[in-house]
Amino acid sequence: MGALLRSEEMTLCQLFLQSEAAYTCVSELGELGLVQFRDLNPDVNAFQRKFVNEVRRCDEMERKLRFLEKEIKKDGIPMLDTGDNPDAPAPREMIDLEATFEKLENEMKEVNANSEALKRNFLELTELKHILRKTQTFFEEAEIHHTQAIHDPSLTDETMGLLGEEPYRSGQALKLGFVAGVILREKIPAFEKMLWRVCRGNVFLRQTEIVNPLEDPVTGDQVYKSVFIIFFQGDQLKSRVKKICEGFRATLYPCPETPAERREMAIGVMTRIEDLNTVLGQTQDHRHRVLVAAARNIKVWFIKVRKIKAIYYTLNQFNIDVTQKCLIAECWCPVEDLDRIQQALRRGTERSGSSVPSILNKMATKQTPPTYNRTNKFTEAFQAIVDAYGVSTYREINPAPFTIISFPFLFAVMFGDIGHGLIMAIFGIFLIIREKYFMAKKIEDEIFATFFGGRYIITLMGLFSIYTGFLYNDVFSKSLNIFGSSWFPIDPQTHKTYTNATLHGSYNLQLDPNTSFVGGGPYPFGLDPIWQMSTNKITATNSLKMKLSVIFGVTQMLFGVILSLFNHRHFKNNLNIICEFIPQVIFMCSIFGYLCILVFYKWTHFTVNDLGKDPNLLIGLINMFLMQRKKTDVPMYPGQYGFEKFLVFLAAICVPWMWLAKPLWLRHQHRFGQYRYRPVATQNGNLIDTDDEHEDVIYHDEFDTKHTDDNEEEFKHHQLSVNSGDVLGHDPEVNHHGDGDLLTPAEPEEEFDFGETFIHQSIHTIEYCLGCISHTASYLRLWALSLAHAQLSEVLWSMVMQIGLNFAFPVGVFLLVPLFAFWAGATVVVLVLMEGMSAFLHTLRLHWVEFQSKFYKGEGEKFQPFTFEDLSQYSVED
């Protein structure tokens, strides 16, 4: 709980790495994922940094891998994912990787080029085959038509050739030119119209469709085409026809004039097509073998390349000393994990073969560290809810551990239904049971990823909804009679039990609690089931739920104010305790805490015997501030009116207390020079490290015994160059303690401005006082959404399921099947999904605004360590 209650204690460290060990040390730190490096070269262009060439080489390798992955996906080859997480390759292995990727890319490009050329040749031969086949049909039909035209003079002009019937009658042979080709099927109408207009009707076009689609060699798409042949006379028309064909991107092919030549060409084309099919098959087999081999390793290659790139990108943020033998880095580290970081540095040094150890030097600083909240798969989603509002300020109270319980509980108050909660809990438990399967599948659907990430929240919301459903005694808008009702149908006038005939024949019977409530006590758990059949159920449940909403709201807000005390104490801000926390607690307790006490007092002191005498708490709260009472009003307890005046006086005193005390005290201290002013908005205490001198520099002990004198002198020189400020890019104005610790430049302190402080405190006071009222009213959404959910559930049951239940057998059975399907679908979609989302958003608002505003600043910077954890996730679009 301690680790969850506040963020981890962080320290700023300076890291000295030997040039030959820097790569492996950073690699080990990336595997560990507990170090956030600072960029020590913010003013240096990315293209002017030391390792920019290595980063570019990694970019080029990534490009080649994306090309290979695209080809693998194009062929539908599965990529093997063993879940391996290989170590970052050594720098010398980059050459081997580059050579491997270069070879694969060139081979694939060559295969693609050959395959495209073969497919283009195959397409041309296939189109030529169809042209020879179709034009043979055209010429045979023309020959038959020519013979009929000579022997049958009665044919009309429309059946004649281009020059009419006279040439045929005289037996003269007419020499016409023609071209044949292939064109996309959808272009035929426009193509035919263009030929007619440009050639003025002096050409004859015949076309027929190719039944089977053809594969485009460039895109691989299946396209539908048609074969055409155009007859014309003269070179001028021939030129026009060819230009039109070129404009419509039609492909023209040579076509012999005699049948024998066409037959001979067709035989040759078929032979070439068969040969091409054989070559294409061999080419595809070779391509498949290459891609299958690449698919086995491509995910591992991606991880390796991205690790190399991440390491060099990080090294570009380091400084280099004047000797060019040492890299200097600054990083934020969790204090608790310094030993693990040392071990990682030791492993990196050993891997590199360097004899000089890396040095981790703790730095004192006034800069605010990043916020690091440790999470696991259970708390991660709750922490994400908090961080979505704002990352907690360093070392302030973290709302996440309290949200684990309060979030699903407040959700369940609005969503309370045993049946609906059971559906939600089953879904959440299913995701938890199958979480390893879904994590291995790495489903990229965004909606499913959202549900899967919140599987523990969904499960808890479902379980809490089942609990509140038992409290409300509500399951799909019906009640469970587990313990038996405490009410009996007794006539209030005769004090006798109603007969069955009276009960079935009357719909307006009233039960007097003084006579009918004789069960020996209230229903053992939850709401009495008899309220399900009463007409004033909403009136009774509304009163209960409204009071519960106010009690839950005031309790949570008061708890938030109490948490602010722990923040003030942690940051040693006693002034805020006196001038903010104490008046805030008194103000809230004197009004809203008192209201909650009155609710419990009314529940315990007013029984059925006091029916009609119980006071109205809302009117009483208004009269408490107006201080106006009627003579007929009876106090709830002796001395009520005087005590309420005292509470109003306390609340009134707290307003100027919160408003004026802090600014006036700060001005007083500033005038007499007894108080070192800190800005009002700052919660952080003194961040200067107070560790002992011997803890400020962290060496690797096992290496100390192995150092030679030369190595010791070399590192003394490095430290001397650093301490003298002679470091590339380092600020020469850095201050030093007497013990040699480096200090980062301190931020200049702000001057005291009474006007600014007064305005800030005024806003804070007004916001809190008005917020107590508005936030308490805001918690009434717990009652409102609970009412809406119950009414929707009841309407859905009465308008759907009740219809089928009203019919007798066997009609009712046939009706219930479709009605149940509709009711079940509407229940899941409307009441579980839509209403669940609505209740979730309202719960989110109650935590972000009403609860966290009492103690949570949320002005921190999230800890973003250098880690390799997410490098296994990649896609072609990355």
Give per-residue pLDDT as tens, 4-40. Answer: 789 999 999 999 999 999 999 999 999 999 999 999 9
CA distance 131 to 118: 20
What pairs with residue 226 in β-bridges? Answer: 183, 209
**pLDDT value at position 376?**
92
Task: Note whether 616 and 796 are within 8 A (CB).
Answer: no
Q: What are phi and psi of 546, to 5 degrees?
A: -65, -45
Cβ-in-10-Å burial (0-12, 13-18, 19+) of 709 comes to exposed
Q: Which of 365-369, 379-383, 690-694 has the lowest mean pLDDT?
A: 690-694
**pLDDT value at position 504?**
63
Task: Note whether 667 and 754 are within 8 A (CB).
Answer: yes
**pLDDT value at position 834?**
95
- Per-residue pLDDT band for 840 (boundaries 50, 70, 90) equals very high
Output the pTM of the full model.
0.79
Task: Note whether 560 and 855 are within 8 A (CB).
Answer: yes
Per cent of the chain over pLDDT 70 is: 82
Give the count of domains, the chain.
Answer: 1
Which residue, chain included where needed, has tokens 């399967």? 437
Say if 699 falls within a structural domain: no
**pLDDT value at position 110?**
93
**pLDDT value at position 684?**
43
CA distance 350 to 647: 71
Say if 495 falls within a structural domain: no
Give the pairing of strands 204-209 and 177-184: unpaired
- Per-residue pLDDT band for 67 (boundaries 50, 70, 90) equals very high
Per cent of the chain over pLDDT 90 is: 49
Query: Tell me: the pLDDT tens digits for 166-185?
Result: 444 444 445 678 888 999 99
AA identity, residue 12: L
Task: Note whether 228 and 181 are within 8 A (CB).
Answer: yes
Cβ-in-10-Å burial (0-12, 13-18, 19+) of 815 comes to middle
Q: How many CA atoms lie within 13 A of 673 on its CB side?
A: 0
Query: Tell me: the pLDDT tens digits for 190-205?
Result: 998 998 888 888 888 8
Say if 402 falls within a structural domain: yes
What is the arithmetic mean of pLDDT over 665-678?
Answer: 71
Radius of gyration of the chain (CA): 43
Say if 3 falls within a structural domain: no
CA distance 36 to 331: 5
**pLDDT value at position 529?**
87
**pLDDT value at position 721?**
37
Between 163 and 223, residue with greater pLDDT: 223
Which residue, chain included where needed, has tokens 């009309």? 156
Q: Which of 41-55, 129-143, 541-555, 786-800 has the lowest mean pLDDT?
A: 129-143
Query: Tell me: the pLDDT tens digits for 242-263?
Result: 999 999 989 898 888 788 888 8
Say if 510 falls within a structural domain: no
Q: Which domain holds residue 604?
A: 380-486+521-660+758-854
Say if 670 falls within a structural domain: no
Record the tokens describing residue 53, joined without a space: 């060439």
CA distances from 819 to 510, 529, 798, 824 (A): 34, 26, 11, 8
What's the angle, vertex CA 174, arms to CA 171 and CA 175, rounded to 5? 150
**pLDDT value at position 448?**
92
**pLDDT value at position 491?**
67
Number of C-beta neighbours around residue 720 at 10 A: 10
Say if 500 falls within a structural domain: no
What is the arithmetic mean of pLDDT over 518-546?
Answer: 83
What is the arithmetic mean of pLDDT over 809-813?
Answer: 76
Say if 264 falls within a structural domain: no
- Per-residue pLDDT band for 499 (boundaries 50, 70, 90) equals low
- What SS3 class is residue 249? coil
Give the rounded distance of the alpha carbon of 281 from its chain centre.
45
- Per-residue pLDDT band for 162 (boundaries 50, 70, 90) equals very low
Between 700 and 39, residue with greater pLDDT: 39
